[in-house]
Structure 1
Amino acid sequence: MNASDRTPADLLRSALAADPARPLVTFYDDATGERVELSVATFANWVAKTANLLQDGLSAEPGDRLALLLPAHWQTAVWLLACSSVGVVADVGGDPAAADLVVSGPDTLDAARACSGERIALALRPLGGRFPQPPEGFADYAVEVPSQGDRFAPYVPVGPDDPALAVAGTELTGAQLVDRARADAAALGLAAGSRLLSGRAYDTWDGLSAGLYAPLASGGSVVLCRNLDQLPPEGLEKRVASERVTDSAP
């Protein structure tokens, strides 16, 4: 990636300019059998739509805190980059009562209701499907996001020193996040074209880095696996071969 990239949104822009057609996130849920592959261009389109939803639909502003109550999932990765694009701090597993808005999966809706601001719910169904019945007090992401614009421009520029991410008690600016992602990529031996398989949860920096930021910072891609413990050893070996995995972070 470009040495001048100083924010997560910069990393995504560089990836899009370099090779929009290459895979960026390949997601497996081994509890449901789901597999989704997103190219850089497709992922960036989801990010743009979600950022527009944040900025225009939810009136989020730079510096707002968003409690992100989602597991390791391709849609979580989209929200992380969308927050960075707008300048919203993604507080992973954060307290909804202390947040300006909340994004929740189906298993954390009760906790998410503590947020007095806007509430978005994701069904996390295959292919980004909707809830059969929208949860009371929440907007359904799958209903709201398709109509959003395919291009995003922030009303206020997002700088490298602006806060970008909070996870497990640590808060990082955009520049700090990028620097740590680059260091992790080097430690993992990632380079352009690398395919990193990650079975780590998204509740720590290590999980977020292996599951998104380090591959993005290196020009590589991630094979993100949820419920990997439900896959037998022979299934894992087959996946490593079929997905052309070069590195692993189980």
Structure 2
Amino acid sequence: MNASDRTPADLLRSALAADPARPLVTFYDDATGERVELSVATFANWVAKTANLLQGDLAAAPGDRLALLLPAHWQSAVWLLACHSVGVVAEVGGDPAGADLVVAGPDALDAARACSGERVALALRPLGGRFPQPPAGFQDYAVEVPSQGDRFAPFAPVDPEEPALAVGGAELTAADLVERARADAEALGLEPGSRLLSALPYDSWEGLARGLYAPLASGGSVVLCRNLGQLADGGLEKRIESERVTHRAV
């Protein structure tokens, strides 16, 4: 990654320039058997589409606060980078009643209705599938995002010194986030090409760093596992071998 990168969106752009074809996020849900692998290029395309949805259709602007009510999931990672691309503050597990807009999974829809702004629902079904019946009062992400543009340009430059992420009672600027991600990557021994397996939830900095930011900052990749406890005996060792995992956080 480039030393001049000061926002998470910068980190993604540098990863795209360096090697767009390498894996960035490999996601497993052991409750459904789902496996999704996103290269840097594919992940960046999802981020661009989601950022266009956020900035365009949802009219989000830098400084707006988005309550992100999603588990550790590849689509959650996409939403985080989309927020960073626009300059929206991603409040992980934030209070919808105090947010400008909310993005929620199927288990958080009731809580998300407290938001008076735009509401987006994610079914979190395999292959990014939509809801069989769209939840009342929400836009279905899987319906809205495919038609968005594949390239994104923010209406205003993202200020690295402005807030970017709120999690676990702490708020980080974009520059703080990049600095901490680099420090965590170094502490974990991550290098370009490292493969970090994480089964940590996205409700803390530790989970976010290991499940997204540290691998991104180091030029590595993450094998993100949800419902790992439902994996059969011996399955974790087989996954570590098949995915060429070099580091783990479980």
Q: TM-score range by the shorter chain?
A: over 0.9
Residue 232 of structure 1, CA deviation = 3.1
Which sections of structure 1, spanning at least 5 residues, go unmatched? none
Matches within 5 A, 1:1-250: 1-250=1-250
Q: Distance in 1 between matches of 2:168 and 2:211?
A: 16
TM superposition score normalised by structure 2 = 0.99
Q: Residue type matched to 2:105 in 1?
A: G
Residue 4 of structure 1, CA deviation = 0.5
Deviations 1:122-173 (A, max 9, x none): 0000000000000000000000000000000000100210110000110000
Q: Residue type matched to 2:137 in 1?
A: G
Residue 242 of structure 1, CA deviation = 0.3
Q: Distance in 1 between matches of 2:73 and 2:91?
A: 16
Q: Across the two proteins, how many residue pairs are aligned to each other?
A: 250
Identity value in percent? 83
Deviations 1:172-212 (A, max 9, x none): 00000000000100111100000000000000000000000
Q: Residue type matched to 2:218 in 1?
A: S
TM superposition score normalised by structure 1 = 0.99
Deviations 1:18-45 (A, max 9, x none): 0000000000001110000000000000
Q: Residue type matched to 2:35 in 1?
A: R
Q: Residue type matched to 1:212 in 2?
A: L
Q: Residue type matched to 2:109 in 1?
A: L
Which sections of structure 2, spanning at least 5 residues, go unmatched? none
Q: Residue type matched to 2:136 in 1?
A: E
Q: Distance in 2 between matches of 1:15 and 1:227?
A: 28
Q: Distance in 1 between matches of 2:44 and 2:127?
A: 16
The secondary structure found in structure 1 opposite 2:212 is: helix
Segments of 4+ moved more than 3 angstroms: none
Residue 233 of structure 1, CA deviation = 3.9
